[in-house]
Amino acid sequence: MEIRSIGDAVLFVSAALSIKDALVEAVAKKTNLRGANLYGANLYGANLYGADLSAADLSAAHLSAADLYGANLYGADLSAADLRGANLRGKKIAKLRVFSGLYEYEVWAVLFEDGSRGVRMGCYLKSLEAWEDAGGIRKINLAEFPDDGSERSEQRAIAFDFARAAVLRMNVVEVPAATISAI
C-alpha cells in the first residue's frame, strides 16, 4: 500500500492491506504526510493523533470517530469529508462546515457533540466564547491582519461572521439507540 501526495510522489510505503492501516502506521512512524492524497479514503476510527496532514486532500474521506487531536490539518481539503464523532482538540465533532474562498484561509464552523460551538479561521480554532473573550476576530493576529478597515481586514471579519452564523444555526442530532445498535 502506498500513500501518495497530491502531486503523485510516494510519501509512505506499507505492507498494510488498507489505506487506513497504512496511514495509522505512517503516523505512528511520524512520517511527513503533508499534501497526502487521501481523497475518499475510509479512515473510520483511525488514530491520527499528532499527524501532519497539512495541505492534504481529505475531501470525501470518511473520518468519523477518528482521533484528530493534535493533528495539523492546516490547509487540508476537508470538503464533503465525514467528521462526525472525530476527536478534535479533545472534543468530538457532531457537525462541521468547511468554507473556502471567504478569505485567504479556510474557515470552519464546528458543532461539537457536547453542544459547544467553535470557529476556525486559518490556524486559530476557538470556541465562540473564547473568540468573544479575546475581543473577537478583529483582535486576533494583528501582525498579519491589522484591524485597519482595509478590504483584507473587512473580508476576514465578514468570513468570521458568516461562520459564526452558520455554527449558531447547527443543532446536535440525537441518534436513537436502536439505530446505533443496528450499525
pLDDT on residue 47? 87
pLDDT digits (tens, 9 = 90+) for 35-57: 999 998 898 888 888 888 888 88
pLDDT surpassing 70 at residue 136: yes
Q: Any bridge partners for residue 42, and if so which? A: 62
CB neighbour list of residue 172: distance below 8 Å, 6 or more residues apart: 94, 95, 111, 113, 115
Can you give the pTM of this predicted structure?
Answer: 0.68
When mean pLDDT is compared across 88-92, 111-115, 156-160, the lowest value belongs to 88-92
Domain boundary among 33, 61, 88: 88
- Statement to judge: residues 103 and 43 lie in one domain: no
pLDDT digits (tens, 9 = 90+) for 78-112: 777 777 778 776 788 888 888 888 998 889 899 98
CB neighbour list of residue 149: distance below 8 Å, 6 or more residues apart: none
pLDDT surpassing 80 at residue 160: yes
- Statement to judge: residues 77 and 16 lie in one domain: yes
Specify the number of domains making up the chain.
2
Write down the mean pLDDT value for the chain: 85
User: Is pLDDT larger for residue 165 or for residue 71?
Assistant: 165
Domain that holds residue 35: 1-88
Rounded CA separation 164/180 (Å): 30
Domain boundary among 88, 107, 131: 88
CA 143 to mean position of chain CA atoms: 24
Name the nearest CA neighbour of 36 among 65, 69, 76, 71: 76
